[in-house]
Amino acid sequence: MSYHKILTIQDISCVGQCSLTVALPILSAAGQETCILPSAVLSTHTAGFSGYTVRDLTEDIPAITDHWEKEQIQFDAIYTGYLGSTEQIAYVRDIIRRLSAPGALAVVDPAMADNGKLYPAFDAAYVEAMKALAFSADIILPNITEACFLTGMEYREQYDESYIAELLDRLRAAGAKTVVLTGVGYRLGFTGVLVQEGDTRRYYEHRRIEPGSHGTGDVYAAAFVGALLNGKDPYEAAVIAADYTVKCIEATQGDPAHWYGVKFEAALPAYLKMLGK
C-alpha cells in the first residue's frame, strides 16, 4: 500500500460537511497521512445558514509555514480547496515551493465560481492570482465556470463537445498540465467529468441527481486525490471520485432535514472498495 503525507489547505466549516470536514476523513480513509492548514474557521458553511461566524486565519499561515520548515516537514502532495484571498493564494504558492518533498504532487481545486459567476467575495484580481497558482500545479479540478474565468472564454449554459474541446485547449495553452474538468453534461439527466492528460482526452458520464447538494465538489476533490495517491491514474481517480460522489448523494436522498450536505460517511465503505481496500 502507498502511504503518503498530504497537506490540504482550505477553510473548515465546523458544521456543514464541506471543505476540511470532508477532506480530512476521506483522505484518511484512503490510507493517507493527512495534515491540514485551515485558511479560516466558520461555525457553518455559508449556503443556507444565517448568522454564521468567520475567523480568518491568514495571519497565522506564515508562522505555521516557518515552523514546519524549521522542523524539516515536507509533503508528498499538497491539495488546495477554497482560499479566501489573493494573500492566501500567495502564501500557498510559497508553501508549495518550500515544503514539497522531491517529486511532490500539487493539486489545485480553483474553488472560486459556479453557474457563470464568481463567488461574492472574489474579483478580477483574485482570478489573476488563481491563474498563477493553477497553472503551476500538476493537476487542476475546475468546473466549467472556473475554467472560463481561468481562460477568459465566454461562459455558456448550453454547449456542445466543440465548446468543451476549445475550453480544454485554452487551459493547456495557458499552462495547465493535467485537467479534470467537472460538471460536463451533453444530455438531459446526465453529467460527467472530462480528463485531459497530455494529448489524451477521456470523458466519463454518470447520472445527474437533482437537486444539487452542497459540498459535493469538496467530496469529489478529496476522493480524487485519495484515489490518485493509491496509485490510480488521473482518469481512474476521476471515475472513482464521480461514482463515490453519486453514492454520497444517493445516501442523503429522502432526508429533507439533511439539506446542508451529503452523508459521505455512509458511502465510505463503497469508496474503499473502489480503491481495492
Q: State the SS3 of the chain.
A: CCCCEEEEEEEEEEECCCCHHHHHHHHHHCCCEEEEEEEEEEEECCCCCCCCCEEECHHHHHHHHHHHHHCCCCEEEEEECCCCCHHHHHHHHHHHHHHEEEEEEEEECCCCEECCEECCCCCHHHHHHHHHHHCCCCEECCEHHHHHHHHCCCCCCCCCHHHHHHHHHHHHHHCCCEEEEECCCCCCCEEEEEEEECCEEEEEEEECCCCCCCCHHHHHHHHHHHHHCCCCCHHHHHHHHHHHHHHHHHHHCCCCCCCCCCCHHHHHHHHHHHCCC
Question: How confident is the model at residue 223, as a pLDDT?
Answer: 98
- Structure confidence at residue 81 (pLDDT): 95
Quick one: pLDDT at residue 213? 79
Per-residue pLDDT at 208 = 85
pLDDT at 37: 98
Can you list the residues of the chain whose pLDDT is less than 70?
1
What integer pLDDT is reported at residue 219 of this predicted model?
Answer: 97
Per-residue pLDDT at 2: 82
Q: What is the pLDDT of residue 87?
A: 97
CATH 3.40.1190.20 fits domain 5-274: yes
Query: pLDDT of 196-238, one tens digit each?
Result: 999 999 999 988 887 777 889 999 999 999 999 999 999 999 9
